[in-house]
């Protein structure tokens, strides 16, 4: 199983630096994947840490469990990090020294054609991270209204051709339901003029695929609350590290951390704070940390990655 879920952890050196891993610490990897980041955290603790790894992909859970079987402090938890607060409570995890979230789709998911995430291979149009629940991309595209498809592609893919793509998708499905990834690629190609596609930096369908994947897996809606929940689960001085891969995720993380660091809602010119809201975190790393040139050359998928870090403040 482990051989089918190989994934190079992005920003690994930076995560270890900012996580400030300590012996006998308690950590949570909310996006376990193949266990690469988790393994590095456990090693950095000298094998003494307790680490809870959460993932909704059963293949990832199985691969990471095999990879990390020698670490007695590792606990795999099937589920969604959006529900981490309850999942960790059931495990009697207590307060955490650190949290890691590596958002987005993993390399093994992209590279397994039958998962339906990739526009490079013809496969069933699935895109679910948890293949045991939720609707497939095909179900969404064949049943949603043209207006809803347009909204998803526009808002989650930041695609300026969203209206045209949604229209063509609906025209195609009226003739034959969309069933495969190439059905969706062909609809996008039919919607975007060839001259525009030739100038694209990358595949013209990538934004549409990103948008549909985000919608099918509800990746953005619960993210802000999940960040707040994880912050509540931290010990004073504990840190949360979040890796994002596109601007939509990054804006949510940046905005949430900023609000937690400066929650005051008093008028800007008020002489003193009267709202009583106190900061719960301090934002670290001076904003976003980008991967090194060496990493992006070795792993092109790291190019768009950003790491943001916040530290739980001591209550006063």
Lowest mean pLDDT among 166-175, 192-201, 226-235: 192-201
Q: What is the mean pLDDT of the chain?
A: 93
Local structure of residue 9 (DSSP, 8 states): P
Is the confidence at residue 108, as pLDDT, over 90? no
What are the structural domain ranges in the chain?
Answer: 2-104+220-312, 118-217
Q: In 3D, which of 219, 231, 211 has the Cα closest to residue 308? A: 231
- So what's the architecture of 2-104+220-312 in CATH? 3-Layer(aba) Sandwich (3.40)
For the segment 237-264, the average pLDDT, to the nearest whole number, is 95
- 267-300 tens-digit pLDDT: 888 888 888 888 999 999 988 999 999 999 998 8
Is the confidence at residue 18, as pLDDT, over 80? yes
Please state, in angstroms and rounded to a whole number, the distance separating the CA atoms of residues 85 and 99: 12
Q: Please, which pLDDT band fits residue 5 given cuts at 50, 70 and 90?
A: low
Looking at residue 7, its pLDDT comes to: 65
Please state, in angstroms and rounded to a whole number, the distance separating the CA atoms of residues 213 and 68: 29
The counts of H helices and E strands in the chain are: 14, 7
Please state, in angstroms and rounded to a whole number, the distance separating the CA atoms of residues 223 and 175: 37
Looking at residue 267, its pLDDT comes to: 87
Is the confidence at residue 157, as pLDDT, over 50? yes
Please state, in angstroms and rounded to a whole number, the distance separating the CA atoms of residues 136 and 128: 6
CB 96, CB 24: distance < 8 Å: no
Q: SS3 of 91, please? A: coil
Looking at residue 274, its pLDDT comes to: 84
Contact residues for 210 (Cβ-Cβ < 8 A; gap 6+): 156, 157, 246
Task: State percent of the chain over pLDDT 70.
Answer: 97
Is the confidence at residue 111, as pLDDT, over 90? no
For the segment 56-73, the average pLDDT, to the nearest whole number, is 95
Domain 118-217 has CATH 1.10.150.170: yes
Q: SS3 of 179, please? A: coil
Looking at residue 3, its pLDDT comes to: 43
For the segment 23-42, the average pLDDT, to the nearest whole number, is 96
Looking at residue 110, its pLDDT comes to: 75
Assessment of whether the complete model's pTM goes beyond 0.85 = yes
Looking at residue 148, its pLDDT comes to: 98
Q: In 3D, which of 234, 259, 257, 236 has the Cα closest to residue 307? A: 257
For residue 285, what is the enclosing H or E element? strand 281-289
Is the confidence at residue 80, as pLDDT, over 90? yes
Looking at residue 144, its pLDDT comes to: 98
Looking at residue 4, its pLDDT comes to: 52
- Domain 2-104+220-312 and domain 118-217 have a common topology: no
Looking at residue 1, its pLDDT comes to: 38
Is the confidence at residue 94, as pLDDT, over 90? yes
Q: Higher model confidence: residue 40 or residue 106? A: 40
Q: Please, which pLDDT band fits residue 159 given cuts at 50, 70 and 90?
A: very high
For the segment 212-224, the average pLDDT, to the nearest whole number, is 95
């Amino acid at each position: 199983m482990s051989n089918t879920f190989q994934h190079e952890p992005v920003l690994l050196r930076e995560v270890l630096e900012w996580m400030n891993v300590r012996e006998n610490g308690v950590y949570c990897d909310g996006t376990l994947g193949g266990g690469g980041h988790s393994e590095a955290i456990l090693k950095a603790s000298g094998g003494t840490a307790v680490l809870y790894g959460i993932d909704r992909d059963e293949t990832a859970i199985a691969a990471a469990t095999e990879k990390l079987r020698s670490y007695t402090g590792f606990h795999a938890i099937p589920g969604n990090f959006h529900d981490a607060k309850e999942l960790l409570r059931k495990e009697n995890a207590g307060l955490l020294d650190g949290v890691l979230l590596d958002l987005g789709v993993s390399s093994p998911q992209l590279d397994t054609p039958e998962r339906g995430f990739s526009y490079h291979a013809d496969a069933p149009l699935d895109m679910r991270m948890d293949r045991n629940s939720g609707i497939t991309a095909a179900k969404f595209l064949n049943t949603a209204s043209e207006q809803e498809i347009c909204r998803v592609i526009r808002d989650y893919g930041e695609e300026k051709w969203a209206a045209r793509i949604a229209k063509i998708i609906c025209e195609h499905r009226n003739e034959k339901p969309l069933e495969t990834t190439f059905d969706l690629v062909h609809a996008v190609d039919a919607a975007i003029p060839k001259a525009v596609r030739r100038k694209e930096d990358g595949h013209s369908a990538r934004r549409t695929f990103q948008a549909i994947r985000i919608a099918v897996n509800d990746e953005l809606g619960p993210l802000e609350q999940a960040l707040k929940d994880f912050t509540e689960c931290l010990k004073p001085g504990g840190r949360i590290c979040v890796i994002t891969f596109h601007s939509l995720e990054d804006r949510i993380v940046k905005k949430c951390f900023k609000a937690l660091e400066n929650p005051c809602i008093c008028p800007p010119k008020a002489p003193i704070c009267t709202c009583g809201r106190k900061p719960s975190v301090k934002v670290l790393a001076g904003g976003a940390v980008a991967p090194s040139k060496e990493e992006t050359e070795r792993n092109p998928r790291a190019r768009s990655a950003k790491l943001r870090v916040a530290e739980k403040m001591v209550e006063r």
